Amino acid sequence: MKRLDSKDSTIYVGSKQPMSYVLAVITQFQNGAKEVTVKARGRVISRAVDVVEILKNKFMNDVKVGKIETSTDIVKGEKGDVNVSVITIPLTK
Amino acid sequence: MKRLDSKDSTIYVGSKQPMSYVLAVITQFQNGAKEVTVKARGRVISRAVDVVEILKNKFMNDVKVGKIETSTDIVKGEKGDVNVSVITIPLTK
């Protein structure tokens, strides 16, 4: 899923504290990324929204939130396939 | 927060099963709503995304997802104010 274009990058939100991902986004912008996409799946979707809100309100007031998209991933599990929701939040400066 | 215009309505996602909210949205459209907004706060934000994905993939393939917005509510708690993220997902047929 990683893009080759170094000007774009994706931060996958997982189980760490929101601030870890906030700092990861800031670092990407400081390294010259024009667009940083925050992506999360399942229960941590709410954390991805927290990351964007913390970033917007406390660290990068000028960040622009693009078109937020939702989708569904099919995850193969022991008990068959499970549908998991995905959120994609594109950010630009 | 409820609007007086009967053509619009908001479904607040809470701790029930996603299907409860899916059915609530379908009912609103069946009652003539032109736009139904799915709203959630904090940890249940991921459930709001599940609701929209289930609706889109299983019950209303023609539903259109509008501009998804995120914001922050300040909730007064015993230990001071707490910031809680909010997601707003507008749906139209």
Interface test with A, best of B19, B44, B45, B83 (most A CBs within 10 A): B45
Lowest mean per-residue pLDDT among A2-11, A25-34, B54-63 = A2-11
Which residues touch A34 (CB under 8 Å, ≥6 apart)? A7, A8, A92, A93
Express each pLDDT in A32-82 by its tens digit: 999 999 999 999 999 999 999 999 999 999 999 999 999 999 999 888 999
Interface of B with A (CB under 8 A): 42-46, 49-50, 52-53, 57, 65, 67-72, 83, 85, 87, 89
Kindly list the residues from chain B whose CB atom is less than 8 angstroms away from the CB atom of residue A57.
72, 83
- Closest CB to A85 among B42, B43, B53: B53
Q: Is A62 left (phi over 0), alpha (psi -120 to 50) or beta?
A: alpha
pLDDT of residue B6: 57
pLDDT of residue A1: 47
Taking CB atoms and an 8 Å limit, are B42 and A46 in contact across chains? yes
Interface predicted TM-score of the whole assembly (ipTM), two decimals: 0.89
pLDDT of residue A80: 92
The domains located in chain B, with CATH, are 6-92 (3.30.110.20)
Kindly list the residues from chain B whose CB atom is less than 8 angstroms away from the CB atom of residue A88.
none
β-strand A80-92 against A69-77: which pairing, if any? antiparallel
Express each pLDDT in B3-57 by its tens digit: 445 567 999 999 999 999 999 999 999 999 999 999 999 999 999 999 999 999 9
Q: How confident is the model at residue B1 (pLDDT cuts 50, 70, 90)?
A: very low
Give one DSSP letter per residue of A21-67, joined into a string.
HHHHHHHHHHTT-SEEEEEEEGGGHHHHHHHHHHIIIII-TT-EE--
pLDDT of residue A6: 58
Tokens 């099963």 belong to B17
pLDDT of residue B58: 96
CA distance A89 to chain B (A): 10
Kindly list the residues from chain A whose CB atom is less than 8 angstroms away from the CB atom of residue B45.
45-46, 49
Express each pLDDT in B56-83 by its tens digit: 999 999 999 999 999 999 999 888 999 9
Orientation angle between helical segments A18-30 and A45-54, nearest 10 degrees? 60
Taking CB atoms and an 8 Å limit, are B83 and A42 in contact across chains? no
The CA angle B30-B35-B36, to the nearest 5 degrees, is 75
The answer to whether residues A38 and A20 touch, using CB atoms and an 8 Å cutoff, is: no
Closest CA relative to residue B31, chosen from B58, B2, B6, B11: B6
